[in-house]
Structure 1
């Protein structure tokens, strides 16, 4: 069994893999990671974390099984052409690895979470980069923070295009603005890459119903799939 642990900005998720298949997903608190690892007793572990303070955690679980920590310089199942790979978020690296595991077509990975990241990898397995923009909740918080009178509101389902109250207008602007941004980015990349596969992941990926010319895959656990792919690649490389 492989255990892949993704420590993000707002949540921590672990994926348990058996023979390459994701068999269990666990959402947990950081302080419970060590005990969870001991309970699951995996054969191999890989960490991906947006935080740099993971060394004590890695040390605590290394007694259970060999541990890998994702970083840009380790062997990866694709080539990085990003000009500043040392600044590249590990969640983006894992997402691209997940895309390469799912398809050999050029792929656009859209991770919709605290921020929205767009990452493009071509059919030859070269990662070129992408873009980053504010996520849905960040947009709502920004409108509250930078104004005197606009309230802080939560997201909602079935948001109307035309808001008949200030709260609905805020939701409409944030939600439909982001939806149209995503659809527009997809259109632009489809002009550049034939047979482009588009894969959505992240906490808000299932929130958006996109209007696009061809189907979009929704894989909320893409980062975990990518982590397992990277772990397997490193085991095969004997590192």
Structure 2
């Protein structure tokens, strides 16, 4: 069965069209708006129409309502919205109210658990940066949420009288201009936070763990990290693949 998998984040909509097991599926990224959905339809036009549509979303109900209307207009099936649950697909949720855990975080842990053995920390570098620890038995130990790169920089611009610049300057460890100082502070500060938090988490565990990196800003942060990290840019969709009947995450490149 051809499944369209969608990961609707705050600033990007990732998609993958999954069919036969063992194949690297067509996939891409669009904006999470009407223009992006039109682009998604164009990207899917050379392929077989989806027989089911599965969605992980951190956006509001208005987005899902618009997506549902768009799918109906295209003659596609009604999209199914997936949430975190107490226990399934090799993960036992630490939250007392399982549905309060972000579905993207849950799916990322499912994907990481399928790809890697042992203890894991999943770091999703999106609009918000999240860290979730998982023990070798798939027990979610809890997590953290921090502002992501752009939110860090924008907070400076909005919360100060004179820094008010867009965080678009090239990062520098010791910048000679305000835009570069803001970009560098966000980037190097985030890298230091990820390394430091991973070390702190590991000090509370009984064995070393793999550090799994995903999210749109992961490629920007990765070169400045000191530890060893596995970059899995499509991890949320790989987890959603498993949650909707896929046999394995691999061999997504």
TM-score by length of 2: 0.81
The equivalent of 1:106 in structure 2 is 119
Q: Rate the CA distance shift 1:64–1:172 in 2: closer, same or farther, 3 A.
A: closer
The equivalent of 1:177 in structure 2 is 189
Is the CA contact 2:86–2:93 (under 8 Å) kept in the aligned structure 1?
A: no
Q: Could you list the runs of 5+ residues in structure 2 that have no partner in the other structure?
A: 248-253
Compute the displacement of 1:88 (Å).
1.3
Compute the displacement of 1:128 (Å).
2.3
Looking at structure 1, the residues matched to 97 and 224 of structure 2 have their Cα atoms a distance apart, in angstroms, of 32
The equivalent of 1:88 in structure 2 is 101
The equivalent of 2:18 in structure 1 is 17
Runs of 4+ that moved beyond 4 A? 33-38
Q: Rate the CA distance shift 1:207–1:193 in 2: closer, same or farther, 3 A.
A: farther
Compute the displacement of 1:59 (Å).
6.8
TM-score by length of 1: 0.85
The equivalent of 1:28 in structure 2 is 30
Secondary structure of the residue that 1:23 maps to in structure 2? coil
Looking at structure 1, the residues matched to 13 and 113 of structure 2 have their Cα atoms a distance apart, in angstroms, of 23
Secondary structure of the residue that 1:124 maps to in structure 2? coil
Asked if 1:50 corresponds to 2:58, the answer is yes
Q: After superposition, what is the alpha-carbon deviation per residue over 1:151-174, rounded to whole angstroms, capped at 9, x for unaligned?
A: 3223455x3221222222222221
Q: Which deviates more, 119-128 or 11-20?
A: 11-20
Looking at structure 2, the residues matched to 59 and 121 of structure 1 have their Cα atoms a distance apart, in angstroms, of 37
Q: Could you list the runs of 5+ residues in structure 1 that have no partner in the other structure?
A: 235-239
Is the CA contact 2:130–2:143 (under 8 Å) kept in the aligned structure 1?
A: yes
The equivalent of 1:212 in structure 2 is 226
- Where do 1:1-239 residues align within 5 Å? 1-18=2-19, 19-29=21-31, 30-31=33-34, 32=37, 35=41, 39=45, 40=47, 41-51=49-59, 52-53=61-62, 54-55=64-65, 57-58=67-68, 61=71, 64-65=76-77, 67-73=79-85, 76-77=88-89, 78-156=91-169, 159-191=171-203, 192-208=205-221, 209-213=223-227, 215-232=228-245
RMSD: 2.6
Is the CA contact 2:188–2:224 (under 8 Å) kept in the aligned structure 1?
A: no
Looking at structure 2, the residues matched to 74 and 36 of structure 1 have their Cα atoms a distance apart, in angstroms, of 37
